[in-house]
Amino acid sequence: MTRSARPARFTLHPDFAVGDVDPRLFGSFVEHLGRCVYTGIHEPGHPTADGAGLRGDVLDLIRELGVTAIRYPGGNFVSGHKWEDSVGPVDQRPRRLDLAWRSTETHRFGLSEFIRFVRAVGPQAEPMMAVNLGTRGVAEAIELQEYANHPSGTALSDLRAAHGDKDPYDIRLWCLGNEMDGPWQTGHKTAEEYGRLAAETARAMRQIDPALELVACGSSGRSMETFAAWEATVLAETYDLVDHISLHAYYEETDGDRDSFLASAVDMESFIETAVATCDHIGARLKSTKRINLSFDEWNVWYQRRTALRPEEDWQEAPRLLEDHYTVTDAVVLGSLLIALLRHADRVTIACLAQLVNVIAPILTEPGGPAWRQTTFHPFAQASRHGRGRVLDVRVDSPTYDTAKFGAVPLLHATAVRADDGTVTVFAVNRGQTEPLPLEVTLLGMDLTTVVEHTAVADADPEARNTLDDPERVTPHDVAGTRLGDGVLTATLEPLSWNVIRLA
């Protein structure tokens, strides 16, 4: 229930800022899971496929989405993965059982194909490679590093050249395993076990290249019983050897509690702030001047209660798994999660929407057929396009509503980003489901006179979604009546809406 009908307000001033946005905040994730790779990004024989088998229609949408760092090859998949299986002549690569998703992996798409894919996306994209610290360890990690990055003159760098890639891949960003705190993870470890292994791996990789960026595994979720204690133990071993620690979080509507679902970013922001506090506590204990940043390298709306691996589907190739079809409500929540990441851009320097195509993804495809944008595509694409610059400090004064999980929550969730040319973009979500929300923003110290545009993702039907038969059902639409005068922006946010207001 809304506690007040008054407008939501905040003030912007360029001297009060959170920090600069790292472009890698708009990263994504490609895992060998379901149809993310096969018939997602890679489908030889598709009418739009290029010579490498990459779907041209999907590449066009990925470029429009604006993704930057792309994490690969997992995810849970990596903890049983032998990187050697994914290189060399495709017809000689082995078929293997993937224990994580009970599928059969053919390795028709492997490391070199992934690098070609990243390069095809464009210069804004970079690879983020995960190494297997579940069933493998230090030796395999540095062998992969040598194969991928060493110029020439060694057994593995020359093997890469023999496989057709003379030039090194120059992968700069590496994840030291995946979700090693999770009992579901192949090769699951205690914090002590993982911390030592991650430290040994990081030290060896830095002996080859001290300038790498390394991400240690943090908790797989804030609800893990070991959360915070896990981070503290791992960082005590790795603090001077890594640059980031990871966070993972997924959200879904449960038991019809849409009010709490719309407030999911309350949990995400608390997760971030607690992780930062833990990192800084360990830094203080170690008397270090170094600062560990956060890699939120898995996040999304994911209806996990709908996920079931059925025995009759075991060991299929690229089965249809985790193909959530997102609604307007999901898009608004995803937009709010983007706002949460931007509001912590001083410490969250990498984030990966999981995943990119078909699997809990903003893009869906049909084999041999079309690709289309899900509702969640639009907030991400708009944030990536207009959320580059310096995040301003937004302190919201808003009416509230009651939630079962989080108590009283502001109806307005917002942030603002000032670009290098002085233009400002306000990103705002109205969490209220039935009533429009008046917004007033006071602008100080900025020469802003014009509303360039105000668009919203909203719909009279909160369950509206984009489908194969109606792929443009939900798109951003123009909002009338937004004004800027005498240093005050006034607007009305539609019920249950994601809003982008650009000022110049």
Residue 415, number of CB atoms within 10 A of its CB: 26
Q: Give the separation between CA 178 and CA 428, rounded to whole angstroms.
A: 33
Active-site residue, from 43, 140, 298, 494: 298
179 labelled catalytic: yes
Nearest by Cα to 386 from 503, 476, 264: 503
Residue type for 143, please?
A: E
Locate tokens 């509230």: which residue? 400
Q: Give the separation between CA 106 and CA 103, rounded to whole angstroms.
A: 10
Q: Give the separation between CA 417 and CA 257, rounded to whole angstroms.
A: 31
Total number of residues shown for the chain: 504
Q: Yes or no: say if 215 and 243 are a contact pair by the CB < 8 Å rule.
A: yes
Query: How many Cα neighbours within 13 Å face the side chain of 417?
Result: 27
Residue 222, number of CB atoms within 10 A of its CB: 17
Q: Where are the beta strands (DSSP E) in 273-333?
A: 293-301
Active-site residue, from 179, 231, 269, 494: 179
Q: Give the separation between CA 142 and CA 434, rounded to whole angstroms.
A: 55
Phi-psi region of 496 (alpha: psi -120 to 50; beta: other; left: phi over 0): left
Q: Yes or no: say if 400 and 3 are a contact pair by the CB < 8 Å rule.
A: yes
Catalytic residues: 179, 298
